[in-house]
């Protein structure tokens, strides 16, 4: 059995005043609300940023902005406060344009607080041996944005993986081609696993029948199937720096899931993994501004 220490942060988005909201929260909500209502002309202006980053040539991985939607990119630029948004996106940010209503945002923020508090107090761990584990895990994942499966990795499969990975590392030339020290930071690095046996087996990667069932049902909820983008082994070297709060991906809730398997015990003394529940960006246009404002404010206050 492998264990990983996780700390839940129910108040990632606590206001900086005694009120439920504050100026920073409202600022980011105003940004996101305007970005969600962009006109066609403003979308053309945003499109020029993608072209400048060569997104049309290199795809989502060409530049950090390429994986973002026009609304996400707009909200990020607005939240950075380095651009004159009224000059950049004249229709959406023109003086006199109606601002978002604070009472609506306060109600939505209270719902977020209730969601995060419940996830933190009840926990997100589900034993794979419990009755109805798949349904319970799916509900937790959909509600909190994360689920921790206990006893979910077969020890024999883990041993086979360890031996195969040690063998891969011994092949210095092949290993070097798969090693990535650029995309991560502060002492972390990753090794991309080749699609060869035993790494081509989902069971070896920790994707049991139960995990597959959870993922299949989860993505069916948004009308999609799913595929694997990549599989890597992440390593955080001794003495690594604080990774700080960050989103693993830029995509919307329900469109992407990261599956992590602890290959070694990660006790609390090694540094916990912090997670902010209920902070995924909503897919629907009506719900997105609130979720985007919460996410942006969390990232601004991450330290």
**CA 162 – CA 150 distance, rounded (Å):** 20
The dihedral over CA atoms of 77, 79, 85, 89, expressed in degrees to the nearest 10, equals 60
Q: Is residue 289 over pLDDT 70?
A: yes
Q: How confident is the model at residue 207 (pLDDT cuts 50, 70, 90)?
A: confident
Tell how strand 125-127 and strand 148-150 pair up.
parallel
Both tokens assigned to 37: 């209502």
DSSP-derived 3-state class of residue 200: coil
Query: pLDDT tens digits, residue range 70-98?
Result: 999 999 999 989 999 999 999 999 876 66
Q: How far is CA 235 from CA 8, 53, 183, 186, 249, in A?
A: 22, 30, 13, 11, 18
| Residue 68 covered by a domain | yes
Q: Please name the residues in contact with 247: beta carbons below 8 A apart, sequence gap of 6 or more.
A: 295, 299
Mean pLDDT for the stretch of residues 117-124: 90
Q: How confident is the model at residue 14 (pLDDT cuts 50, 70, 90)?
A: low
Q: Please name the residues in contact with 202: beta carbons below 8 A apart, sequence gap of 6 or more.
A: 208, 212
Q: How confident is the model at residue 20 (pLDDT cuts 50, 70, 90)?
A: low
| Residue 50 covered by a domain | yes
pLDDT confidence of residue 97? 64
Q: Of the given ranges (91-100, 183-192, 230-239, 262-271), which has the lowest mean pLDDT?
A: 91-100
Q: Is residue 238 over pLDDT 50?
A: yes
Number of Cβ within a 10 Å radius of residue 67:
16
pLDDT confidence of residue 16? 46
| Residue 216 covered by a domain | yes
For the four alpha carbons of 278, 281, 287 and 288, in that order, the dihedral sign comes to positive
Mean pLDDT for the stretch of residues 221-244: 82
Of the two residues 42 and 6, the one the predictor is more confident about is 42
Q: Report the largest interatomic distance among the alpha carbons of the chain, rounded to a whole angstrom.
A: 65
Q: With CA atoms as reference, report the closest residue to 45 among 12, 85, 17.
A: 85
Could you list the residue range(s) of the whole structural domain that residue 17 is in?
6-300
pLDDT confidence of residue 166? 95
**CA 48 – CA 95 distance, rounded (Å):** 23
Strand partners, 6: 273
Q: How many domains does the chain have?
A: 1
Alpha helices of the chain — where are they, by DSSP H?
Answer: 23-36, 40-52, 55-58, 70-80, 85-88, 90-93, 102-122, 133-144, 155-170, 172-178, 209-220, 288-300
Mean pLDDT for the stretch of residues 173-182: 93
pLDDT confidence of residue 8? 47
Mean pLDDT for the stretch of residues 126-146: 94
Q: Of the given ranges (87-101, 131-145, 183-197), which has the lowest mean pLDDT?
A: 87-101
Q: Is residue 37 over pLDDT 60?
A: yes
Q: With CA atoms as reference, report the closest residue to 137 among 116, 151, 158, 117.
A: 151
Mean pLDDT for the stretch of residues 58-63: 75
pLDDT confidence of residue 252? 67
| Residue 1 covered by a domain | no
Mean pLDDT for the stretch of residues 223-232: 84
Q: Is residue 5 over pLDDT 60?
A: no
pLDDT confidence of residue 206? 80
DSSP state of 177: H
Of the two residues 4 and 140, the one the predictor is more confident about is 140
Of the two residues 66 and 223, the one the predictor is more confident about is 66
pLDDT confidence of residue 70? 92
Mean pLDDT for the stretch of residues 47-58: 89
Of the two residues 14 and 205, the one the predictor is more confident about is 205
pLDDT confidence of residue 98? 60
């Amino acid at each position: 059995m492998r264990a990983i220490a996780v700390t839940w942060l129910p108040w990632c988005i606590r206001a900086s005043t005694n009120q439920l909201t504050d100026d920073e929260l409202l600022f980011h909500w105003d940004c996101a609300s305007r970005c969600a209502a962009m006109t066609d002309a403003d979308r053309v202006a945003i499109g020029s940023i993608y072209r400048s980053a060569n997104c049309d040539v290199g795809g989502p991985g060409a530049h950090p902005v390429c994986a973002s939607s026009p609304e996400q990119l707009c909200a990020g630029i607005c939240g950075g406060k380095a651009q004159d948004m009224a000059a950049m996106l004249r229709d959406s940010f023109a003086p006199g344009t109606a601002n978002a209503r604070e009472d609506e945002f306060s109600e939505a923020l209270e719902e977020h607080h209730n969601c995060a508090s419940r996830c933190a107090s009840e926990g997100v761990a589900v034993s794979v041996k419990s009755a109805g584990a798949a349904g319970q895990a799916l509900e937790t994942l959909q509600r909190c944005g994360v689920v921790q499966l206990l006893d979910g990795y077969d020890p024999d499969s883990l041993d086979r993986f360890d031996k195969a990975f040690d063998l891969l590392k011994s092949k210095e030339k092949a290993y070097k081609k798969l090693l990535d020290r650029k995309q991560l930071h502060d002492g972390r690095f990753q090794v991309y696993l080749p699609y060869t046996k035993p790494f081509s087996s989902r069971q070896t990667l920790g994707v049991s029948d139960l995990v597959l069932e959870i993922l299949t049902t989860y993505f069916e909820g948004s009308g999609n199937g799913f595929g694997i983008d990549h599989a890597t082994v992440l390593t955080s070297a001794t003495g690594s720096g604080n990774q700080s709060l960050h989103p693993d991906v830029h995509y919307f809730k329900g469109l992407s899931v990261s599956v992590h398997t602890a290959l070694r015990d990660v006790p609390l003394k090694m540094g916990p993994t912090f997670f902010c529940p209920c902070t995924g960006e909503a897919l629907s246009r009506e719900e997105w501004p609130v979720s985007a404002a919460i996410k942006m404010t969390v990232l601004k206050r991450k330290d």
